[in-house]
Amino acid sequence: MTSLALYNLKGGVGKTAATVNLAYLAAADGMKTLVWDLDPQGAASFYFHTETAVKNATRKIFTEELDIQEAAHGSEFENLWVIPADLSARHADIILDEAKQSKKRLRNLLAGLKSYDVIFLDCPPGISLLHENIFHAADWVLMPNIPTTLSIRSYDTILEYFKDNDLHTEKIKCFFSMVDHRKNLHHETVQQFYKNNVFFKNYIPYLSDVEKMGVHQQPLFEYANSSYAAQCYRDLWTEIKRTCL
């Protein structure tokens, strides 16, 4: 089992869009795939039409009142399961703080999910005890970055955080997201950072087909399989598989 956390300190950078589309591709490749939606906004759960069956499910998973394997719902796609989020996910930090081994809780929970080939964690933005758990638990931390100064700065902040907390910096990999080549700043930033092998070569441009996922409430491939956007996610997935799986 390999776990991939789609994470950035910053919000609205394409974490959920990437989680949903990459998980879809993993499942289509025949891998037993799980998406764990850790964000109380529940956007990944929304795209996959899944809802928690138990009240306060996220809280109960963390307190082990609910068996994590039973919290996974089948989706309408073969090989793809989802642990949906609910609003109780907003209390994750408090619950973790009260737990024993509060930084390793998520890692212990993931150990109970070894029957999956790949697990995607759709993370809320920010940096808190939940995120510290994610950094310990995930095999890879995949950071979408919009090529702007502030977004790159958030990557630097996380890198420092990893160093200060003895976390493995090698597990952080970045890819550019929402790239608009008409903007000089985007173009120059992408060129500058490609020299740094932390960034994948493939990136996701700013494309309205991706934005329409909300309207269709589906992964991109279900309504625009032959689009350029779909090809960009496929190329990125091929590179992620080569590097991380």
**Near Mg ion in 40-59, by CB under 5 A:** 43
**Under rule CB under 6 A, residue 12 binds ligand ATP:** yes
Q: Output the six-digit token pair for 188.
A: 């120059």
Q: How far is the CB of 16 from Mg ion (least distance, A)?
A: 3
Q: Which of 37, 39, 86, 132 binds ligand ATP (CB under 6 A)?
A: 39
**Under rule CB under 6 A, residue 14 binds ligand ATP:** yes
**Under rule CB under 6 A, residue 43 binds ligand ATP:** yes
d(CA 65, CA 142) in angstroms, rounded, equals 30
> Residue 72's binding partner, choosing from ligand ATP, Mg ion, none, with beta-carbon cut-off 5 to 8 A by kind?
none
Residues facing residue 186 across a β-bridge = none
3-state SS, one letter per residue, for 136-203: HHCCEEEEEECCCHHHHHHHHHHHHHHHHCCCCHHHEEEEEEEECCCCHHHHHHHHHHCCCCCECCCC
Q: Dihedral through CA 133, CA 136, CA 142, CA 147, nearest 10?
A: 70
d(CA 98, CA 92) in angstroms, rounded, equals 10
Q: How far is the CB of 122 from Mg ion (least distance, A)?
A: 6
**Is the Cβ of residue 15 or residue 105 nearer to Mg ion in the bound state?**
15
Q: Which of 16, 21, 177, 189 binds Mg ion (CB under 5 A)?
A: 16
CA distances 223 to 74, 226, 238, Å, are 21, 9, 21
3 state SS of 131: helix
**Near ligand ATP in 127-186, by CB under 6 A:** 177-178
**Under rule CB under 6 A, residue 74 binds ligand ATP:** no
Q: Which of 9, 13, 14, 15 binds Mg ion (CB under 5 A)?
A: 15
Q: Which stretch binds ligand ATP (CB under 6 A): 5-13, 24-32, 165-173, 189-197?
A: 5-13
d(CA 62, CA 209) in angstroms, rounded, equals 36
**Under rule CB under 5 A, residue 131 binds Mg ion:** no
Q: Which of 104, 125, 193, 245 binds ligand ATP (CB under 6 A)?
A: 125
> Residue 178's binding partner, choosing from Mg ion, ligand ATP, none, with beta-carbon cut-off 5 to 8 A by kind?
ligand ATP
d(CA 243, CA 132) in angstroms, rounded, equals 23
**Near Mg ion in 175-234, by CB under 5 A:** none
**Under rule CB under 5 A, residue 21 binds Mg ion:** no
d(CA 48, CA 219) in angstroms, rounded, equals 8
Q: Which stretch binds ligand ATP (CB under 6 A): 39-47, 79-87, 100-108, 135-143?
A: 39-47
d(CA 88, CA 95) in angstroms, rounded, equals 10
Taking residue 220's Cβ as centre, other Cβ atoms within 10 Å add up to 24
Residues at the contact surface with ligand ATP, assessed by CB under 6 A: 11-17, 39, 41, 43, 125, 177-178, 204, 206-207, 210-211, 213-214
State the residues that interact with Mg ion by CB under 5 A: 15-16, 43
